[in-house]
Amino acid sequence: MLIKTGRWIKKAFIGILLFMLVQVPVLADGYWPWWGETQSDVQVWQHWGALIGLTVVVGIVLLIIYKKVNFEDMSVKKITGSMAVKAMVVAIILVLLEMVIAVVFSKQPESENYEIVQLIRSPLGILTLVSSNIVSPVLEELLFRGVIQSVLRESLPGVLAIILTNILFALGHGYQLGSTLGIFVVGCGCSWLLIKTKNLSVPILSHMTINWLVTLINLVAIELVAEITGF
């Protein structure tokens, strides 16, 4: 019993370290005041170098771990046309559900959304879009669906493993009740895609589509609010 508990504690500790590792490339997505940067003095090429370098390093680490723990044939494969359609349809449904949950449970928009929109309008705009909508979905799917879900399914029933995986996924992203619940639903949708297709590329594509849609919706919503309020 003690040995089994110790193994789970070790796995939990490794999981926390991996989650922190996945966040490392995001350091490139924002100003570096500790580097002496200001909004009017940004070395964009340094941010691109940091994003690419950190993404490659983190991606290699996750791929190595993913290949060791992935006990089922759920590797990254070529996506067929029907898989791509399924991924995008599921993404649209999940975004709609996330919006409904946000309206029901969130009292006010999260300040993080405004910060991201401001970054998109800055010299780091393209980098922010790439980081948020391409890099993050790939790394997060490798970690949560590829590694954590695979590890949990070794010793837990499938449904329980999916629920626990996505509770961790939601807690790592949500800042308010509405956003946490919405992200949990999104994660469950991505897990369902992985189980159905046995292809990690499908939830990655769906996750990317979700992030792009949310970014577009935030941009449009904030523009509308600005027009209405005059700010």
Place of tokens 């924002």: 30
Q: Which residue did the predictor score with more confidence, 155 or 63?
A: 63
The C-alpha atoms of residue 205 and residue 7 are separated, in whole angstroms, by: 33
pLDDT digits (tens, 9 = 90+) for 46-103: 999 999 999 999 999 998 888 888 766 667 788 999 999 999 999 999 999 998 998 8
The pLDDT value recorded for residue 107 is: 59
- 194 within 8 A of 74, measured Cβ to Cβ: yes
The region of weakest confidence among 14-23, 105-114, 131-140, 201-210 is 105-114
Q: pLDDT of 191-217, one tens digit each?
A: 999 999 989 999 999 999 999 999 998
As a whole number, mean pLDDT of residues 17-22 equals: 87
**Which amino acid belongs to residue 127?**
L
Give the range among 56-70, 107-121, 125-139, 141-155 with minimum mean pLDDT: 107-121
pLDDT digits (tens, 9 = 90+) for 26-38: 888 888 887 778 7
Q: Do 211 and 137 touch, CB atoms closer than 8 A?
A: yes
The answer on pLDDT for 2 being more than 70 is no
Report the pLDDT value the prediction gives residue 127, as an integer from 0 to 100.
Answer: 93
d(CA 148, CA 141): 10
Angle at 194 (CA atoms; ends 188, 196), nearest 5 degrees: 100
Question: How many CA atoms within 13 Å lie on the side-chain side of 206?
Answer: 29
DSSP state of 30: S
Cβ atoms within 10 Å of 1's Cβ, excluding its own: 5
| CB-side neighbour CA atoms (13 Å) of 155 | 9
How confident is the model at residue 226, as a pLDDT?
58
